[in-house]
């Protein structure tokens, strides 16, 4: 029996990358657990409608399990939280991995966050952090509640929303009064 690999299956992962990652890191016939984070759009997150994204992530995990069934011992898989770091942390509670293998579009910021979880992180095709990737990382931290600023930002944004609603009703009331006179 080979190593215990936790595969983080990100967007942009191909079949070849997945198979190569297991072959390169497996040392024989590895034990594999696959986690596919849900890709929740911001509007879906705001509407708390993550069902479709979770179902799609579950399908990606099942496809990966099927693809690797002859190459490794599959210990399962799951659709994870939309934040890859939380998805991996949840999966590590179920599956004690020797190594986290990241397959798909990852940047150095994500790898640094994953390294803090404990097991060795084995990236495949890492790209340098860009302004957009840092913004995505900030959004992931905010939407998952890992950011210290989450309560403050939520408080300010909700109050701005209430202010805009109050202004709209005030303008509507002024229009009705103006039309009535």
Burial class of 111 by CB neighbour count within 10 A (0 to 12, 13 to 18, 19+): middle
Asked if residue 77 lies in contact with residue 64, where contact means CB atoms within 8 angstroms, the answer is: yes
pLDDT 10s digits, 107-133? 777 777 777 777 777 766 555 566 776
pTM, to two decimals: 0.66
CA torsion, ordered 68, 72, 77, 80, to nearest 10 deg: -80
Task: Please provide the size of the chain in residues.
Answer: 181
Q: Quote the pLDDT of residue 169.
A: 96
Q: Quote the pLDDT of residue 91.
A: 85
Residue 170: pLDDT band with limits 50, 70, 90? very high
- Find the helix packing angle between 131-144 and 84-94, rounded to 10°: 60
Highest mean pLDDT among 14-18, 22-26, 43-47, 94-98: 94-98
Q: Look up the CATH number of domain 4-147.
A: 3.40.50
Asked if residue 58 lies in contact with residue 88, where contact means CB atoms within 8 angstroms, the answer is: no
pLDDT 10s digits, 44-55? 666 667 778 778
Mean pLDDT of 33-46: 76
Rounded to 5°, the CA angle 93-79-150 comes to 75
Mean pLDDT of 52-78: 81
In 3-state terms, what secondary structure has residue 8? strand
pLDDT 10s digits, 132-148? 767 777 766 776 666 67
CB proximity list for 53: less than 8 A, separation 6 or greater = 38, 39, 40, 41, 44, 82
């Amino acid at each position: 029996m080979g190593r215990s690999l936790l595969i983080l299956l990100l967007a942009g992962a191909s079949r070849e990358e997945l198979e190569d990652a297991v072959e390169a890191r497996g040392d024989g016939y590895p034990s594999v657990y696959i986690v596919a984070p849900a890709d929740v759009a911001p509007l879906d997150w705001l509407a708390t409608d993550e069902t479709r994204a979770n179902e799609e992530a579950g399908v990606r995990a099942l496809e990966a399990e099927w693809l690797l069934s002859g190459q490794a011992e599959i210990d399962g898989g799951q659709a994870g939280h939309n934040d890859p770091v939380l998805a991996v942390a949840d999966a590590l509670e179920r599956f004690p991995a020797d190594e986290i293998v990241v397959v798909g579009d990852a940047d150095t910021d994500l790898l640094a966050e994953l390294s803090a979880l404990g097991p060795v992180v084995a990236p495949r095709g890492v790209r340098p952090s860009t302004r957009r990737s840092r913004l995505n990382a900030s959004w992931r931290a905010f939407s998952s509640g890992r950011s210290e600023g989450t309560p403050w930002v939520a408080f300010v944004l909700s109050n701005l929303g209430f202010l805009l609603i109050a202004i709209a009703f005030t303008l509507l009331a002024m229009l009705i009064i103006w039309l009535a006179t």
